[in-house]
Amino acid sequence: MADTSFLDWPFLDPHHKTLALDLDEWAHDQLPAITDAPGAHDDVDNTCRALVKALGQGGWLRYCVPAAFGGALETLDVRALSIIRETLARHSGLADFAFAMQGLGSGAISNFGSEALKKKYLPAVASGEKIAAFALSEENAGSDAAAMTMTLRRDGDDYVANGEKTWISNGGIADFYTLFARTDEGSRGVSAIVVDAETPGFSVAERLDVIAPHPLGRLKFDDCRISAVQLIGKEGAGFKIALSTLDIFRTTVGAAALGFSRRALDEATTRATTRKMFGATLSDLPIAQERLAEMALDIDASALLIYRAAWTKDVIKSRVTREAAMAKLFATDQAQLVIDKAVQMFGALGVSKGEKVEELYREIRALRIYEGASEVQKLIIARQHLESFRDNPPTLRGNK
């Protein structure tokens, strides 16, 4: 990575810089054997299993869980999660995906689960022995999670789940799923529960293919009986649990986009400084310099928003709904533009399969949709702004 100056920003502590540099070295040495192996991108199930195992053995998944259950830090540290996602994304989109889903899939357990649930799942998440998944979206309830129709009915010492979830990452390879389903009407009628993959009545109804392949599936629950001890938090608290979990991991989506952007800029700069054109190099042309300047500017602006949101969550310990939405929206939208400019600078080579910028072009697109589409982030930001305005109306000189 050409620019590491951001590691000295006041948002980050010394251990974050050490984490970034150590992981970068590990990823450079260890990931190619997995991600560049023949057929690695055609058999994403086994590639992701291998990545989870390697990340566990490397100790990086320990940042997904609290220290009391095998984690690296006392509590989930959003800055550390963001550093890891940014670094892994710069090396490999699939490696970032494998890490992110271990954190997102177990995050609700870390923050709201009983001691028994934490002991049962979190050490295995940290070691890479169990693969986690987060099952929230439905066919007609993606960005509007409150519209979910899947039911979770109490029956004695169990809950019985019926319905479907779709677009579920790790669907088909996960060992357990953090499931959100309706136990009553309204947003307060959603509950969260952990479902083991071998539970009778649970099945993967369909595997889904997308432009940047990763394990993705449609899940079916047909009178799926789950012990009540698997409930996360209290019945009816599921919507709060989901939002709180996304509050943590939404910022890290922006960090992954930032990693893609940094890699695109590095690739574009290498191309521009080595590509001979009109008796000079591409980097000598003013239009190329303009594009590189725009890319560098968008990357730094994204990083500032991301690490502001992460710092606010870690240090101020307040809700960061607005800050996280801004970080995700700007970083993912600008990453799309940064990568597009990199592809353009490569010319025909930029859209050739096997080129890194072509891979990045496919990888970035989903980040503007999952964990809240860009349009939803704008609604969140506007609502937060209007709420703040109503609570603290400005006093302007000359107002009457």
Active site members: 371
Tell me how far apart the 2 most distant CA atoms of the chain are, in Å. 80
Closest by Cα among 38, 85, 50 to 250: 85
Specify whether the CB–CB gap between 289 and 329 falls below 8 A. no
Residue among 112, 13, 47 nearest 315 (CA)? 13
The pairing of beta strand 176-182 with beta strand 132-135: parallel
Distance (Å, whole) CA 56 – CA 76: 16
Task: For residue 316, give Cα distances in angstroms to 11, 64, 312, 329.
Answer: 12, 20, 5, 22
Q: Which of 226, 248, 242 is nearest to 191 (CA)?
A: 242
Distance CA 247, CA 81 (A): 13
Question: Tokens representing 300?
Answer: 């730094």
